Structure 1
Amino acid sequence: MKTFSSIKQLLGMLSREQKLISEIFEKRKQLSYKYDHALELVEYNEDKLSSLIEFAVLRQNGRFLELDDQFLQFFEQILEVNEDINVSYINENLLAIHQNIVYYLQENSETRRYNYLRQVKNALRKIGVIAIRNVVDLKRNIDNTFKNEPNYKVKKAKLEHLDIKRNYISSLINLTDKLISGEEEQTFFKVATDEELQRIIHILKNQLNTCRHNLIDNQKQIIEYLNRLRAQNMMVEKIRQLKYLKDQFELRTKTNIEQVLRSENPLLFEPNPAYSLKLSLDQLQGDDNSLELIRKVHARQRSGKGIKQSVADTDLSEYMDSESEQVPQVNLEEVKNSFLAGSNNLFDFLQTYNFGMELSFEERLTVYCQLVSQYDAHFRLTDSYQVKQETEYLMIYPA
């Protein structure tokens, strides 16, 4: 396996193959990205794929490719899409802070003492960011587990495991708060106090306080989801017992289902109501069509035969001969590009622009408004106005 000799070489390879790396990262959960698909994205140049594999950017498993763990973890952390909760980072940074504090207090050189102080500051910054990211990931995992996990036992076990991680995160936050409050390292925070360190501690305290409140909400959410699972499981078990008794023809003898059904009066058990249609007397007295319908119904009841339904006319030729209407369309993108290539203001530019068809002043004014609403970021809007044909317009130039 080769290693990168410089950051320039690393960034150059990632930039050159960014299309392939982006697609594999987007499909990282499918675990089935084929080698042939990757070869197509690099224009069938196998040397490019071989370089990515040799430098451990990609890993090959038979005819499939996947991102190496260190690059995958790096991209997920930077883009904040990591779903794994790793609380060990907080613990590692706490240990690093304790070690660098010891080194700082034992060091006599001001230069090396400053380096230890700088490492303490960096670790404090990391703890705040990692704590917030873990709390967000915890919330996302709780919701995804309850809503998407189909297996009841697995769902319950995952929620309980997430609750354990929540407790661990809470404990590490308390340890961090105890550390920066000066209860353990009073000498260091008195000797090494500077403006930047105080600012970092202040920001970290606010971040830890936000994490505490969110962890309380996460705990409530886990308890609620576990209670729902317990209630759903009890309901399922009861339905299974009823189904078993029904199959054994013992439902009436071994349960009080008849008594329960008598005491219940849900709308589901009610028959569908049928409402008779009462015609208006005024309509019956003054409408000849209503009288004719009544006679047909009366004749059907006397003869016992159904009324023959009238058939619609099958000649649809008049509907097929529909006239088409042509609606003129303006290519706003093309008009915008032409305007940006010149230096005239937008309103006067549109008055002389050749659209390939005749447009009235009102229609050109409509195009003016459409261009401003869609492409205002490409224009330079001034504070001056002018009036033409009783229309006040803003002076707009290419950006």
Structure 2
Amino acid sequence: MYIFRSIHEIINTIAAARGLLTEMFEKRKMLSFRYSDALALLKDDENRLKLLIEKEVIRQNGNFVELDARFLDFFELLLEANEEINTAIIDENIAFLHELMDYYEKEQIASRKESYVRNIKITFQKIARTTIRNIMNLQSSIDNAFKHEPTYQIKIAKLENLDKKRIHIQQLIDTTENLILHEERRFFQQATDEELNRILLELRSELQLSAHSLIRAQQDIINYLNQIKSQVILVEKIRKVKYLQDQFELRSRSNLSEVLEREHSVLVEGNVPSSFKLSLPYLSTDEARPVILKVLRNLQYREIIRSNEAGAFSEEDMESQAMYQEVIDLEETLSDYIQAQAQARWNDASAPEEDLFHYLMHYTFAREVDEQERTTLFCQMVSLYENRLRISEEFGLYHQYEYAKVYPANS
């Protein structure tokens, strides 16, 4: 492995091949970049190309070359052009924070304590940037998987895997919050640094916004999976109709005739195509050449569309139902709670108020919802509708959950 001797050497090496590196980075997702093309971009200076290979800026594979992974990661990081969702970096930074805070408490020299605080501030800033970038990549990947993946099995698998990454990001946000508020409270009491306090305030604000974005991502995933379910059902019906048509039993085994008699829209009537045939003598003339080329282009375009069509559904795709769930409308649930409290006060002004958490634990949803999910709904509603609620200083206990009592804002 080649080791650069100085930053000056790295900058000079990249600057001398900036045209080639720019071209290779823009085409990084292509399967191949020819050695001859790289040589042409360096004005046929093979010594410069061999020097780049020797310094492992680029790698050669037979007649092809590619950017080295270290430089590729470096360029993507600075340009924010990487769509990868990497939660391991946040895990590592959280573990590193615990180490630094432990060193800080054991250190006696003031200057060395300050160096640990400086590294802690840098690490918190890294966590904020990485979390925001991961969420942006997550939302983009969810949309791309649903809109551009042609194979339904892969589309469903991608959405399910992205949902697992969403859960992992949420867990890391919760871990970071817990580190700041509970686990390392002793450190924050000792390290009275104004800049650190400002960084923590900004970090907590960004983590709260990130949690809201994850709620939206979860709803998008559920909505997309439900849409796929609807498409599967529609395709299944179309296949049944096609089967009956092929067996010449469509009219006898369906109500098609009755439906067509009641339907008089222009769409059902269809359009009668006006076609005509060109004579062979005309086709042999130069005047007919543009017409022939246009027909060929249309045929090629149809072939491209046909090659991008999604594959057939398997029996497992048709029968699988476990991956879909009904979306719970948080707005409607909150409105029901506020109306219920208002009605209770109208009936008996002296009756005690029911807090939101207790209400949710006994609320009847359209589907089965366990305690853990009801707790998650409580946290989501408090985060999203803070202006419509009043968080009291009282705490309640429900089974293993200790929670702040929340009431309608106008109560």
TM-score, normalised via structure 1 length: 0.65
Shift of 1:28: 0.3
Give the structure 1 partner of residue 71 of structure 2: 71
Using a 3 Å threshold, how does the CA distance of structure 1 residues 134 and 271 change in structure 2: closer, same or farther? closer
- C-alpha distance in structure 2 between counterparts of 1:51 and 1:31, whole Å: 23
1:66 is paired with a residue whose SS is strand
Give the structure 1 partner of residue 61 of structure 2: 61
Give the structure 1 partner of residue 390 of structure 2: none
Shift of 1:161: 0.7
- C-alpha distance in structure 1 between counterparts of 2:87 and 2:134, whole Å: 7
Shift of 1:212: 1.3
1:98 matched to 2:120? The reply is: no
2:60 is paired with a residue whose SS is strand
Give the structure 1 partner of residue 252 of structure 2: 253
1:172 is paired with a residue whose SS is helix
1:228 matched to 2:227? The reply is: yes
Give the structure 2 partner of residue 192 of structure 1: 191
1:121 matched to 2:117? The reply is: no
Structure 1: which amino acid aligns with 2:239?
R
- C-alpha distance in structure 1 between counterparts of 2:109 and 2:195, whole Å: 20
Give the structure 1 partner of residue 43 of structure 2: 43
Shift of 1:112: 2.1
Give the structure 2 partner of residue 358 of structure 1: none
Structure 2: which amino acid aligns with 1:136?
M
**Structure 2 unaligned blocks of 5 or more:** 272-411
- C-alpha distance in structure 2 between counterparts of 1:18 and 1:271, whole Å: 59
- C-alpha distance in structure 2 between counterparts of 1:262 and 1:65, whole Å: 66
Structure 1: which amino acid aligns with 2:201?
H
Q: Deviations over 1:289-311 (max 9, x none)?
A: xxxxxxxxxxxxxxxxxxxxxxx
Shift of 1:271: 8.0
- 1:312-323 correspondence runs (5 A): none
Shift of 1:94: 0.4
Shift of 1:263: 4.4
Q: Percent identity?
A: 47
Shift of 1:129: 0.3
Give the structure 1 partner of residue 334 of structure 2: none
Give the structure 1 partner of residue 19 of structure 2: 19
Give the structure 2 partner of residue 316 of structure 1: none
Residues 31 and 66 in structure 1, CA contact (< 8 A), matched pair in contact too: no
Give the structure 2 partner of residue 166 of structure 1: 166
Alignment coverage as a number of residue pairs: 271
Q: Deviations over 1:130-156 (max 9, x none)?
A: 000011111111111112111111111
Structure 1: which amino acid aligns with 2:213?
N
- C-alpha distance in structure 1 between counterparts of 2:270 and 2:185, whole Å: 78
1:244 matched to 2:251? The reply is: no
Shift of 1:262: 3.8
Give the structure 1 partner of residue 388 of structure 2: none
- C-alpha distance in structure 1 between counterparts of 2:65 and 2:12, whole Å: 21
Shift of 1:25: 0.2
1:60 is paired with a residue whose SS is strand
Q: Deviations over 1:176-210 (max 9, x none)?
A: 12212x31111100001210100110111121122
- C-alpha distance in structure 1 between counterparts of 2:204 and 2:176, whole Å: 9
2:29 is paired with a residue whose SS is coil
Residues 145 and 159 in structure 1, CA contact (< 8 A), matched pair in contact too: yes
Q: Deviations over 1:81-136 (max 9, x none)?
A: 11111111111100000111111111112222222221111110000000000111
Structure 1: which amino acid aligns with 2:2?
K
Give the structure 2 partner of residue 143 of structure 1: 143
- C-alpha distance in structure 1 between counterparts of 2:233 and 2:171, whole Å: 34
- C-alpha distance in structure 2 between counterparts of 1:98 and 1:117, whole Å: 12
Shift of 1:270: 5.0
Give the structure 2 partner of residue 308 of structure 1: none
Residues 4 and 10 in structure 1, CA contact (< 8 A), matched pair in contact too: yes
Using a 3 Å threshold, how does the CA distance of structure 1 residues 198 and 271 change in structure 2: closer, same or farther? closer
2:4 is paired with a residue whose SS is coil
- C-alpha distance in structure 1 between counterparts of 2:238 and 2:6, whole Å: 66
- C-alpha distance in structure 1 between counterparts of 2:82 and 2:92, whole Å: 19
1:107 matched to 2:107? The reply is: yes
Give the structure 2 partner of residue 30 of structure 1: 30
- C-alpha distance in structure 2 between counterparts of 1:59 and 1:76, whole Å: 18
- C-alpha distance in structure 2 between counterparts of 1:259 and 1:92, whole Å: 66
- C-alpha distance in structure 1 between counterparts of 2:270 and 2:55, whole Å: 73
Using a 3 Å threshold, how does the CA distance of structure 1 residues 271 and 173 change in structure 2: closer, same or farther? closer
- 1:235-384 correspondence runs (5 A): 235-269=234-268
- C-alpha distance in structure 2 between counterparts of 1:112 and 1:18, whole Å: 41
Structure 1: which amino acid aligns with 2:141?
N
Structure 1: which amino acid aligns with 2:241?
L
2:2 is paired with a residue whose SS is coil
Residues 121 and 197 in structure 1, CA contact (< 8 A), matched pair in contact too: yes
1:130 matched to 2:135? The reply is: no
- C-alpha distance in structure 2 between counterparts of 1:259 and 1:97, whole Å: 72
Shift of 1:249: 1.5
- C-alpha distance in structure 1 between counterparts of 2:221 and 2:266, whole Å: 35
- C-alpha distance in structure 2 between counterparts of 1:161 and 1:2, whole Å: 37
Structure 2: which amino acid aligns with 1:220?
Q
- C-alpha distance in structure 2 between counterparts of 1:113 and 1:20, whole Å: 46
2:70 is paired with a residue whose SS is helix
**Structure 1 unaligned blocks of 5 or more:** 273-399
Using a 3 Å threshold, how does the CA distance of structure 1 residues 129 and 271 change in structure 2: closer, same or farther? closer
- C-alpha distance in structure 1 between counterparts of 2:126 and 2:105, whole Å: 22
- 1:74-85 correspondence runs (5 A): 74-85=74-85
- C-alpha distance in structure 1 between counterparts of 2:247 and 2:151, whole Å: 28
Shift of 1:264: 4.0
After TM superposition, the runs of 4+ consecutive aligned structure 1 residues lying more than 4 A away are none
Structure 2: which amino acid aligns with 1:269?
V
